[in-house]
Structure 1
Amino acid sequence: MHIHNFSLKNSILNTFISEIRDVNKQKDSMRFRRNIERIGEILGYELSKILNYNPSQIKTPLGLFNYESLENDIVLCSILRAGVPLHNGLLNYFDTAENAFISAYRHHKNNPESFEIIVEYLACPNLENKTLILADPMLATGQSMLATFEALKPFGTPKNIHLVSVIGAQQGVDFVSKHFDAETHLWIASIDESLNKNGYIIPGLGDAGDLAFGEKLQQ
């Protein structure tokens, strides 16, 4: 797997990452969502540099202009609900992309330290020979990312696969590296060292879905 870890170089991205981690600043849910969206825009821009382009021409009021137009047929897939702001950031840059949405959540049985990933909702276009961008802001264990990809398989085989995350744990990065094709690209803003006993990223930022949209009742 090709891993693009943007925490290894200083950029304005560091500011957005620090703000979504800050226990005081993350209380502003609108600011939290916007920062996730901006991170998605930055990662989308970086991702765009390795896509395919074709020579094209347009007419301006004063003449003709030659440029390179994006060739890839892109499908953006985000995991509800935490993935929505990240999805919006990517869509701001890939505005002609098709879109897929999936619900994947942790189902804890009797042990809070043990869970399985449940997929209940999926809406997806044809993926055959397209470029799939799979977005999940928190790459903790990596199981949600894999479960989502497995659920998408009946919709066709993508030509290229890109995983996009905001914060990940090294364990999750290792997991997806093992279970996805070697030519898959992972675009991630920051990689943390560990998970706690409940499978949450340390230091991480908490529950991205709750911070973006409010706390949910547990069932």
Structure 2
Amino acid sequence: MILHNFEEQNSILSQFISELRATEIQKDSMRFRRNIERVGEILSYELSKTLDFESKKIQTPLGDKEVSVLQDDLVLCSILRAGFPLHQGLLNYFDNAENAFVSAYRHHPDGKDEFEVIVNYLASPSLNNKILLLADPMLATGKTLENVLEGFKDHGKPKQIHIISVIGSIEGINYVEKVFPENTHLWIATIDNQLNSRGYIVPGLGDAGDLCYGEKL
């Protein structure tokens, strides 16, 4: 797996991450969603530099011009719920992409720390020879992404996979590296060292889905 960790360089991205983590700023759910969206926009721009472009002649009001335009066919996939604002950030830049959506959640039997990831909804176009962009804001254990990858097996083989995350854990990144194809790219804004007993990133930022859209039962 090819890792692109943007914590290693200073940019405005660091400001957005600091606001996502800060408990006082988190209380503004609109700002929280917008910050995740902005992270998606920045990572989209960086990711675009690795894609294939082709030369095309366009007509302007004053003449012709050779320009470079995106050649790859993209499919954007978000993992519900927290993936929505990150997905929108990607879609703001890759507006001609097709879209896929996956519902995946953690199930803690008897309320214990151990959990399984259940995927009970997946809508996707064909992935054959396309670039698949997986938007998952919190890469904690990596098991959600593993289950999503399994669910896509009946939708064709993508040319390449790019995972886009806001925050990840070292453990989760190592796990994803084992189960995804070798040429997979991971684009991530920041990485934390630890997971707690329930598999949440520490210090992380809390439950991104709840902070975006309110607490669930």
Above 0.5 in TM-score? Answer: yes
1:1-219 alignment to 2 at 5 Å?
A: 1-217=1-217
> Deviation string for 1:184-214 (max 9, x for gaps)?
0000000000100110000000000000000
Gaps of 5+ in 2: none
Q: How many angstroms does 1:111 deviate by? A: 4.7
CA distance in 2: counterparts of 1:57 and 1:89, whole angstroms: 29
CA distance in 1: counterparts of 2:183 and 2:166, whole angstroms: 20
Aligned length: 217
Counterpart AA for 2:107: H
Counterpart AA for 1:151: G
Counterpart AA for 2:60: T
Counterpart AA for 1:108: H
CA distance in 1: counterparts of 2:116 and 2:197, whole angstroms: 15
Q: How many angstroms does 1:113 deviate by? A: 1.1
TM-score by length of 2: 0.99
Gaps of 5+ in 1: none
CA distance in 2: counterparts of 1:146 and 1:73, whole angstroms: 23
How much identity, in percent, do the aligned residues show?
A: 62
CA distance in 1: counterparts of 2:152 and 2:49, whole angstroms: 25
CA distance in 2: counterparts of 1:156 and 1:26, whole angstroms: 39
Counterpart AA for 2:200: Y
TM-score by length of 1: 0.98
- Shift >3 Å, 4+ stretches: none
CA distance in 2: counterparts of 1:194 and 1:25, whole angstroms: 23
CA distance in 2: counterparts of 1:162 and 1:191, whole angstroms: 17
Q: How many angstroms does 1:112 deviate by? A: 2.4
Counterpart AA for 1:134: L
CA distance in 1: counterparts of 2:198 and 2:126, whole angstroms: 36
CA distance in 2: counterparts of 1:159 and 1:22, whole angstroms: 38
